[in-house]
Structure 1
Amino acid sequence: MTVTAFDESERRAWAGKADAYAGSFAKLCAYPVPGLLDAAGVEAGTHVLDVGTGTGTAAATACERGAKVVAVDAEPAMIATAAQEAPAAEVRLAALPDLPFDDGAFDAVVGNFVLNHVGRPRAALAELRRVTRPGGRVAVTIWAVPPAPGQALLGRAVQEAGVGRPAHLPALAPEEDFPRTEQGFATLLGDAGLRHVVCDILEWDHWTTPQEWWSGPAAGVATIGQILKSRPPGVVEEIRGHFVALCAEFVRSGGALVLPHAALLAHGRV
């Protein structure tokens, strides 16, 4: 299938970033995992595919439930980390929307935030549906839009410095985008042919520190990190100064940074 400019940009952005991601944003992204697995009906004996496994949190948790787990990711460094995190899982290199599995191969398929990182989300969902058996479940998460205050913190610091998105980082094509709302996400799953679709919003406070939260972007993790990497050191330091100032809104006693986040969890049956 066609690899878009957005897909190619995502591959470059995440190349070699497993350790930096594990030390910064991975703990945030782990929050929805129990609910994601519940929505997919993952239990002992379930044959489950975890797509976009990252550092392997969902795969490891599914293994702890006694499921038979296959996990895939498009980034080799993530695969290496996931194989250590979930040694009971079969971990393979693969990318949406072209998975190397037969039709109906799995009882359940989960994707924790993977749809945020593909250039053709509709084709990706169609592929998740294809590899799920009739009657099986697909469960996926994305970040909600507009973002919760904690999620917007780093972007606000960039905006305060007057820095925009660099031209070499393509946005998702307009015809591929969709409303990142409960209704919009549910409609996306329904259009992919899933039945009995339900979408809920998850809201939580993520506890971290300013140093930890800055470490991911400083290492080039995610789009925000790629924006920093595209700027000279003086501009990066200006962004960091705005970040430190804005952190005051979220710092609790003891120095903890408490960031409100919101994500969408949607699931349906094949």
Structure 2
Amino acid sequence: MLQTPFDESERRAWAGSAAAYEAGFGRLCAYTVPQLLDAAGVAEGVRVLDVGTGTGSAAAAAGARGARVVAVDAEPDMARRAARAVPDASVHIAALPQLPYADGQFDAVVGNFVLNHVGRPRVALDELRRVTRPGGRIALTLWAAPAAPGQALLGRAVQAAGVSRPPSLPALAPEDDFPRTEDGLVGLLGGADLRGAVCRTLSWDHRTTLQEWWSGPAAGVATVGRIVRSQGAAVAERIRQQFAVLAEEFTDEGGRLVLPHTALLASGRVAGPGPSSRDEPRVPGARP
């Protein structure tokens, strides 16, 4: 079975959410794009695949570097929006762990937080390696665990309102999970036979507003949005009120939210002919 209950739940969580995602969470996720492309060695003429493109921020940035860009997303609404935003890219609807491309078709593959949304991360990574040429690079970002305080804010509000995760939202199966740490992600890449795997932590403050940050859950975006929407109007309002209270500790003098976030950035090279280790792109601050 290629699609797990977790995968199916993710499809429902993101269905029709492109506009709401772009207006809120999309700005947050775009922060890591330049570092992600650097780690994959994306430059002029490079054939790059952006997996889980969302509304196309990584694809657009790769195109601006002169790369030849193909992008995919499992959600048709996301793929349509990315195609409009990045007209020079070839954008398709496709979901891991099955991609409609030939072995070794790309020089580089990037996935900005895509591993957070697949039910079988190891199988998904094997597929990314399959479509990358020998000597090509794969670079991925992933939300770290435990979550940074700003990232945990919405979940804390749900808990403070006395709401539990509904049984209809399955978690990743234990046998498919892995530590969301630098070592855990390096181990995952190494297990997929990627050479020279490195990882570093990215930390930043995401600046937003109370209204913008609540707009995603209110619109049903992502898992937290499905939880909010599943509770009915009265409970959803209780969650919103708890969110407003908890958000006070992150509010600056100008009334904006300053939310600390932490992500992992990892990369590795597909075995085979390619640049020597001296010539490979390096992730600043990564372990050798």
Query: 1:82: which partner in 2?
Result: 82
Q: 2: distance between equivalents of 1:144 and 1:117?
A: 14
Partner SS for 1:155: helix
Q: CA deviation at 1:195?
A: 0.4
Residue 73 (1) aligns with residue 73 (2) = yes
The residue correspondences of 1:134-149 to structure 2 (distance < 5 A) are 134-149=134-149
The corresponding residue for 1:26 is 26
SS at match of 1:136: strand
* Structure 1 position 255, deviation (Å): 1.2
Give, in whole Å, the separation in 2 of the partners of 1:243 and 1:129: 40
Q: Give the whole-Å Cα distance in 2 for the aligned partners of 1:9 and 1:232.
A: 19
Please give the secondary structure, in 2, of the residue aligned with 1:249: helix
Tell which deviates more after alignment, 105-114 or 230-239.
230-239
Equivalent residue, structure 1, for 2:188? 188
Separation of aligned partners in 1, 2:45 and 2:175: 39
AA matched with 2:109: V
Map 1:234-249 to 2 at 5 A. Answer: 234-249=234-249
Spell out, residue by residue over 1:48-86, the C-alpha distance to the aligned partner (whole angstroms, 9 max, x if none). Answer: 000000000000000000000000000010011101111
Aligned residue for 2:10?
Answer: 10
Q: Comparing 233-242 with 173-182, which one deviates more in the overlay?
A: 233-242
Runs of 4+ in structure 1 deviating by more than 4 angstroms, as ranges, are none
With normalisation by structure 1, the TM-score equals 0.99
Superposition pairs for residues 1-270 of structure 1, below 5 Å?
Answer: 2-270=2-270
Give 2:48's aligned amino acid. V
User: What letter is aligned with 1:173?
Assistant: A
CA deviation after TM superposition for structure 1 residue 118, in Å: 0.4
**2: CA distance between counterparts of 1:46 and 1:2?**
30
Q: Which runs of 5+ in 1 are unaligned?
A: none
Which residue type is aligned with residue 242 of structure 2? Answer: H
Task: Output one character per residue of 1:207-250: Cα deviation in whole Å (capped at 9) or x when no partner.
Answer: 00000000000000011001001102111111111100011100
Q: CA RMSD in A?
A: 0.6
Deviations 1:17-74 (A, max 9, x none): 0001011100000000000000000000000000000000000000000000000000
Give the letter aligned to residue 189 of structure 1.
L
Query: Matched residues in 2 for 1:12 and 1:124: separation?
Result: 19
Tell me the secondary structure at the aligned position of residue 266 of structure 1.
strand
Q: Count residues in correspondence.
A: 270
One-letter code aligned to 1:10: E
Q: Secondary structure at the match of 1:152?
A: helix
Where do 5+ consecutive residues of structure 2 fail to align?
A: 271-288
1:197, 1:73 → 2: CA distance?
25
2:267 counterpart letter in structure 1: H
2 CA distance for matches of 1:72 and 1:172?
22
Q: Percent same amino acid among aligned pairs?
A: 69
What's the secondary structure of 1:150's corresponding residue? Answer: helix
